Structure 1
């Protein structure tokens, strides 16, 4: 049985996607200690990898460089590099060559998480992969072969994992499409601004082909090519209104935007329910408050909320005070989200 794969993605940057993914995945792992979890960081910036490997204060960047320096390169880029010479065939691989246990570098991360780290090589590899995906070879769907690379990797693990989480770049470049093609479910983080509202519309256009600006794009869209390849599209699983307390109180205009997001989602439920894992906005939309000082400390130290302790903590040479109630509030809220990832 294949593991369930969930991707955190939005084609708009700045929505707190990676920080949300870090806390939600860590919480999910802590709440489900018997589950074997694979995290695949499909982002050239590799921010999720750095957080899992220790963050700023825990030498996350240096630890990531060590992993990238291994032979073979123990990253998503190392795996893609191995696939490039024979891109349309599935060569036998040892998946463990490309995997890391974050707990070995950062003791606050649950031991049931395994990481395929991100890699800046993705940007360099992108043009080559796009060219290979658009080659014309009789009898071969070259695009489908390339976008199946992560699917192939998950299959090669042979049932070693119960669930997979992916974090992807805001772009919809070829490596993001490879990640999307491997996912069963999509978590879309948004913020309370008009650009986030448009980003939801853009996301549904890019993934599912809804409201394309012109029919001339239809034959090239992701959904059409996935269907032609016999590959199932991921379904929208959750819309997460992130950093919600930034827009509360007197800023009633922002609440209007948040309400309009619900209206947009309700329209999609009514018109295209086949693309969703929920049947009402109440079930599919969740609000998460801003992490504030607790978040600053947690991310600087690469620490899940459940592992934070109250008191003064060092961040960038400064001592920052966090109290027990702040930690509990953030932990409880993330647990609500994590439980929706089951």
Structure 2
């Protein structure tokens, strides 16, 4: 059955169940012109928006509709994680061709709902419209963080250490394996199709006193440049310490590429990169899933890497650019 066969309002009615996962924060959900949620007076509110466009951010050749919905929510949840926050509410908008199979749209929403349920996030409403070509999915997320504690990009200071969570270059490895039809990349393919936001780690890092933080959506090099620019510092990392999965090394060897480039320029890992005072290094390592990869220096917005040959390489702010060539 196609979307045009059931119409906008019937489709909306069909997806409005199982959307409230924390009723304590909701006054009025779906059904009015606006939803009403309760903000905790001890918290500051966080808001972010992400859009995914078919054949730009995702392809149904490499991902199921469920994966796309799941990954869309990860992108939004990751923005809250990067501030050390707690996700609370979302509203979403879908533009889809009239001839789209309703079952595909149902699977998009199932992926979205499952991620929301996992992280106790409410879906408070949204919009469904037609598009001339392709699917466009947009989510606005609202979160919260204790007053005065949000972790910004602008707090890095000379002498700080630089760290990342888990593996980086993971998603780009999975996409590369899918693109070339390679077998044996189950972990990184899953990392591309269903990445998870680092919400708990983000909160733990905030509570331990990290000085700046960013989520890795456009590649590690790009995110480090954002921190360096916002903080007015230089950053240097060590190629040999950047945590790469063994599947990244295997793919790079097969393709004759440099393994670390998957981390630097691949993006969409939705891990966290952060800076913290040097004296916190041992404490942060005890949290687990954290690798210290570099340090913050005095300077003016330069990001460099010590290569495995022990040479200094200046890294470009090169991630995915929607309006680049």
Same fold (TM over 0.5): no
Higher helix residue share: 1
More RCO (CA 8 Å, sep 6+): 1
Higher strand residue share: 2
Normalised by the size of structure 1, how large is the TM-score?
0.23
